[in-house]
Amino acid sequence: MKAAVYYAPHDIRCAQIPDAVLDDDQGMLVRVTATSICGSDLHLYRGALDPIMERGKSQTGHELIGEVVQVGKRVGRFKPKDRISMGYSVSCGHCYMCEVGQTAHCETTNRAVYGFGVPFGSINGTHAEALVIPQADGHAMKIPASISDEAAVTLSCNLPSAIIANKFADIQPGETVALVGCGPTGMMALDIALSRGPGRMVVLDGLGYRLEIARSKGAATVDITQEGWKERALAETGGRGFDKVIEAVGYTESLQMSLDLVRPGGVVSAIGVFTDATFNLNLADVFLRNISLHMNGFANVQPFMWEGLRLMDRGVVEPGAYFTHRFALADIDQAFATFHHKKDGAMKMLLRP
């Protein structure tokens, strides 16, 4: 079958690999209808996680909408032809960590993640014609026909992460809120944040076409590539700083930016996927300014998938609107390059086998 394989930094391409075979009583074999490239996949593409990938073997992809082909004899919630998605991390649903909502830290699967290399279980990826979903009852979900393929794909990672960002931020009506980074997950976080009635919403990014989308939603925008960006952003708060800051990038620079923007006693909700080993956190500053910092890049998405469905059903978010490019799986190398270089207004890539 066809599947995306990691060969080297900037070299992820479609290859022929052995067909996926179900040999797990608690798993199911799924035909991939559509998948996508997540912002966290770009860490793989640019080589930041090269040490954890087995070159020429490790598969990629962790976002899915698909159809069940075969189920193991201990799977009780699904049957062939069911339309399903699943959380990007493999969780059993019944261990201590799953029961307390920390599904990304499942003790049964030892933090296994689809398409993310050796330390995360060497699990098959969704950038393929088919894949096996282990512990299926624990983290997969049936998807109604009313939800488009594009929207359903975001339930694996993007949309639940955006929900988590807002839960940590706990935006109250009238507060000033900054969003650092408005890629697909950032845009969904923006949609949810705006529904909470902030007094002032300011979006910071370095790409003009993204900022234009944010402006069209009613947010004020600041281009961080322009000199004086921080002063312009803080001016939106009268110089006090923002009550809440959502960070959706995953770089040390964006985290420091968020800490620079938040007011004393404010909250930073950081959902970007960070790959840097260290960060020079000024503990005295965070302590003296009473800042609350929440980090959840390794997001526990499964408990929030149903809420994501509800938000889509009620029109709070429309994730399908953020898909700007569509590729065949055979052209995944082009899809990665387009997304990485932000060509042609790239936001979200849809891939079909």
Q: Name every residue whose Cβ is closer than 8 Å to that of residue 243 and which is 6 or more positions away in sequence.
A: 171, 172, 175, 176, 177, 262, 263, 266, 267
Entry field: residues in the chain:
353
Distance (Å, whole) CA 348 – CA 152: 13
Model pLDDT, residue 297:
84
> 176-189: per-residue pLDDT in tens?
999 999 999 999 99
Q: What is the CATH number of domain 2-157+300-352?
A: 3.90.180.10
Report how far Cα 126 is from the mean position of its chain's Cα atoms: 14
Domain boundaries, the chain: 2-157+300-352, 161-295
User: 38 phi and psi, to 5 degrees?
Assistant: -90, 155
**Percent of the chain as helix, strand, coil, to the nearest 5:** 35, 25, 40
- Count of beta carbons in the 10 Å neighbourhood of residue 13: 14
CATH number for 161-295: choose from 3.30.200.20, 1.10.730.10, 3.40.30.10, 3.40.50.720. Answer: 3.40.50.720
Beta bridge partners of 113: 89
Q: Which residues of the chain have pLDDT under 50?
A: none
- What number of CA atoms fall less than 13 Å from residue 115's CA on the CB side? 32
Calculate the CA dihedral of residues 67, 73, 76, 77 and round it to 10 degrees: -10
Distance CA 258, CA 197 (A): 21
**What pLDDT does 176 receive?**
98
In a 3-state reduction of DSSP, which class is residue 323? strand
Q: Find the angle CA(105)-CA(106)-CA(111) to the nearest 5 degrees.
A: 60
